[in-house]
């Protein structure tokens, strides 16, 4: 499909620079009814039915942005995008063209790496001296939160350490937050429980590639970076039981949806316990097998995420919803408001 079909006018001042407080006071555009309804996230328990299942991504954002020096001289910046195992990370680096295989990079007294490889798309493979818990401790001390460039130029501060992390964050590995889950609070979770809404989690370590701009003219020419994910036996069983009863599976965010649809695509519609990598790219025409509803933030023009929601709820429907959101000054992107969709 032509990428320009997913373009729209977005005033820059609608890209949220900070989250609202409390988190569940964010606005929610209900796109599930015939019309469009302006609500708040706190209304969510009343928009779902007893027996429905919310599926969250429990990944934890790591401080993946690093600034250091080459031992040969010169500043270097690295954004870790995927754990390759054994202390090796795929990264976006600046200045990537000047880096050579074998270059030594130092980010702090406790964190250094060697350039182990370079890829055609410009990504750089870094081999760190530390690994496991020692690496994460050094990263926590040396790195910063990898905010998208649309938020304060990507420059994070101390507040972002908490703001850019969901209450479900459990497993280190993401370089971008599963942002739809940022809206949830203990009070909202209690209300959902009292309404009989079930809760399950999956893990997808979100890479920066999910949020990279689409630089081609046709979606067929765009390549997604692979991301690691896991569906536990408990979550697979909860989804199977929800579907057996005829209740709805509600994915909180595009990352949970992409993981579940990957598993179902590879298992003839079933969601089994699973772990592995996915580079699924969802555009209109995709056959959804698991998610009945989707809670998601408002995405940027020409992004893979706007393509995904257009595939889920229909391009014309999402174009109308986004025109309404812009006119009503909803807040966009990671720290912004959200919408509830039904396929």
Angle at 61 between CA 60 and CA 64, to 5 degrees: 145
Determine, yes or no, domain membership for 40: yes
Determine, yes or no, domain membership for 154: no
Residue 72 reports pLDDT greater than 90: no
User: Per residue in 85-130, pLDDT tens?
Assistant: 889 999 999 888 889 999 999 999 989 999 999 987 778 999 999 8
Average pLDDT over the chain, rounded to an integer? 94
Rounded CA-CA distance 223/229 in Å is 18
User: Per residue in 182-229, pLDDT tens?
Assistant: 999 999 999 999 999 999 999 999 987 666 778 899 999 888 888 999
Does 41 share its domain with 71?
no
Hunting for tokens 């990957």 — which residue is that?
262
Q: Decide which of 76, 111, 143 is a domain's last residue.
A: 143
Per-residue model confidence (pLDDT) at position 131: 83
Determine, yes or no, domain membership for 148: no
Residue 340 reports pLDDT greater than 90: yes
Task: Identify whether the C-beta of residue 53 lies closer than 8 Å to the C-beta of residue 199.
Answer: yes
Total number of domains constituting the chain: 2
Rounded CA-CA distance 217/234 in Å is 41
Does 192 share its domain with 133?
no
Helix (H, G, I), strand (E, B), or coil: what is residue 45? helix
Per-residue model confidence (pLDDT) at position 210: 65
Tokens of residue 57, six digits? 């991504």
Task: Identify whether the C-beta of residue 217 lies closer than 8 Å to the C-beta of residue 146.
Answer: no
Reference 104, options 141, 138, 70, 148; nearest CA is 70
Instruction: Please enumerate in sequence order all residues whose Cβ is within 8 A of that of 181, keeping only pairs 6 or more positions apart, or say none.
Output: 56, 57, 166, 167, 168, 252, 253
Hunting for tokens 């994460």 — which residue is that?
136
Does 84 share its domain with 222?
no
Reference 124, options 94, 151, 149, 161; nearest CA is 94
Hunting for tokens 């040396």 — which residue is that?
142
Tokens of residue 240, six digits? 């199977």
User: What are the Cα distances from residue 59, in Å, to 91, 164, 165, 173, 175?
Assistant: 19, 12, 9, 7, 10
User: Per residue in 298-324, pLDDT tens?
Assistant: 999 999 999 999 999 999 999 999 999
Provide the residue range defining the domain that includes 264: 3-61+162-342
Does 175 share its domain with 54?
yes
Tokens of residue 88, six digits? 């090796």
Rounded CA-CA distance 205/336 in Å is 21
Determine, yes or no, domain membership for 105: yes
User: Per residue in 122-181, pLDDT tens?
Assistant: 789 999 998 888 899 999 999 999 998 899 998 999 999 999 999 999 999 999 999 999
Does 254 share its domain with 130?
no
Rounded CA-CA distance 37/271 in Å is 32
- What letter does residue 2 receive in the DSSP assignment? B
Question: What is the pTM for the complete model shown?
Answer: 0.94
């Amino acid at each position: 499909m032509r990428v320009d079909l997913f373009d729209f006018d977005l005033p820059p001042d609608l890209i949220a620079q900070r989250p609202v407080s409390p988190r569940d006071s964010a606005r929610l555009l209900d796109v599930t009814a015939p019309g469009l309804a302006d609500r708040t996230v706190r209304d969510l328990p009343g928009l779902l039915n007893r027996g429905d299942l919310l599926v969250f991504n429990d990944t934890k954002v790591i401080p993946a942005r690093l600034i250091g020096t080459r031992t040969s001289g010169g500043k270097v910046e690295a954004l870790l995008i995927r754990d390759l195992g054994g202390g090796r990370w795929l990264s976006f680096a600046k200045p990537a063209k000047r880096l050579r295989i074998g270059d030594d990079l130092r980010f702090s007294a406790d964190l250094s790496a060697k350039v182990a490889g370079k890829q055609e798309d410009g990504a750089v493979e870094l081999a760190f001296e530390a690994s496991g818990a020692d690496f994460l401790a050094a990263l926590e001390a040396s790195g910063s939160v990898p905010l998208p460039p649309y938020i304060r130029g990507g420059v994070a501060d101390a507040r972002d350490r908490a703001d850019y992390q969901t209450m479900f964050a459990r497993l280190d590995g993401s370089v971008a937050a599963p942002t739809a889950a940022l809206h949830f609070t203990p009070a909202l979770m209690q209300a959902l429980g009292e309404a009989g809404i079930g809760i399950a989690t999956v893990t997808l370590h979100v890479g920066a590639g999910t949020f990279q701009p689409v630089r081609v003219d046709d979606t067929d020419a765009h390549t997604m970076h692979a991301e690691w994910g896991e569906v536990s036996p408990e979550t697979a069983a909860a989804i199977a039981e929800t579907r057996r009863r005829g209740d709805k599976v509600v994915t909180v965010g595009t990352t949970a949806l992409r993981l579940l649809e990957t598993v179902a695509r590879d298992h003839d519609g079933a969601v089994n316990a699973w772990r592995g990598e996915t580079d699924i790219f969802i555009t209109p025409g995709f056959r959804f097998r698991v998610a009945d509803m989707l809670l998601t933030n408002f995405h940027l023009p020409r992004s893979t995420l706007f393509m995904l929601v257009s595939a889920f709820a229909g391009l014309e429907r999402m174009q109308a919803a986004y025109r309404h959101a812009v006119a009503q000054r909803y807040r966009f992107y990671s720290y912004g408001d959200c919408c509830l969709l039904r396929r």
